[in-house]
Amino acid sequence: MSRQEQAQRMRTAKGFIAALDQSGGSTPKALGLYGIGPEAYADEAEMFRLIHEMRARIATAPAFDGSKVIGAILFERTMDDTIGGKPSARFLWEERGVVPFLKVDQGLQDANDGVKLMKPIAGLDALLKRANDAGIFGTKMRSVIDAASRPGIAANVTQQFDIAGQILDRGLMPIIEPEVTISIADKAAAEDILREEILRHLDALPAGRQVILKLTLPSTDNHYKPLIDHPKVMRVVALSGGYSRDQANALLARNTGMIASFSRALTEGLSVRQDDATFNRTIATTIQSICEASNAG
């Protein structure tokens, strides 16, 4: 497995990153949208088995390959499991040409100063070693911005870049995701502060280091172009953030150089009750639409 080849794909390939990393808190909702209610599982182990079956069904669909899906973000249990008879990360890269990432955050702290910082990531070094051993290329970690609070956003971005430094030290590529909540009244002002804070930290990164940024689709088209063009940024990707897939695609297409990293918008319209032919047609149409929006700029 060539990390240089994976890095080159992430820098230049057309397509998008699939987010298949629903965790304990978001899994019941994801399963519910897929047609599996809480009555279908008795405990957490059964719940995670069912969500893994959904993820494996997506990853083995004929349309899910490196021609349109250039990367995929996995939950830790997915990394530890298999798809198509192989460890998940190896299956994605060796069989599909899809670069594997791992979600490493462990949820959010309570809201403070307009943001929700990440909880301390227990056992991060050990997890990063396991990720390297499994063939993971990079990581992803999410925090949240709920208000245009300069001190809160500064603390949020600082936390992200501090942990990103630890991840880079272990030879993995961090995806930094300070999500701006789409429903807040001062979203555009929050995005102005966020861009300033990210630029400040990018300028301070040591030579030869890069990160990937995962950001909410902005209120102003091409607001994040200075980040996309920054030499310390490998790629800027967009989260769907509660927009429908059609809304997210339309917004994404107006932002030159930004590509998708959708989760709920990727699985929209999929159902456990669909036969394989219907499921595969549905995911193929979805992948094509997200790819077109990602390549529009």
d(CA 294, CA 174): 20
Q: Is 214 a catalytic residue?
A: yes
**What amino acid occupies position 125?**
D
d(CA 232, CA 170): 18
Three-state secondary structure readout of the chain:
CCHHHHHHHHHHCCCEEEEECCCCCCHHHHHHHCCCCHHHCCCHHHHHHHHHHHHHHHHCCCCCCCCCEEEEEECHHHHHCEECCEEHHHHHHHHHCCEEEEECCCCECCCECCEECECCCCCHHHHHHHHHHHCCCEEEEEEEECCCCHHHHHHHHHHHHHHHHHHHHCCCEEEEEEEECCCCCCHHHHHHHHHHHHHHHHHHCCCCCCEEEEEECCCCCCCCHHHHCCCCEEEEEEECCCCCHHHHHHHHHCCCCCEECCCHHHHCCCCCCCCHHHHHHHHHHHHHHHHHHHHCC
Catalytic residue among 177, 179, 191, 197: 177
Q: Is 94 a catalytic residue?
A: no
Catalytic residue among 68, 140, 214, 232: 214
Joined tokens for residue 27: 């899994």
Active-site positions read 177, 214
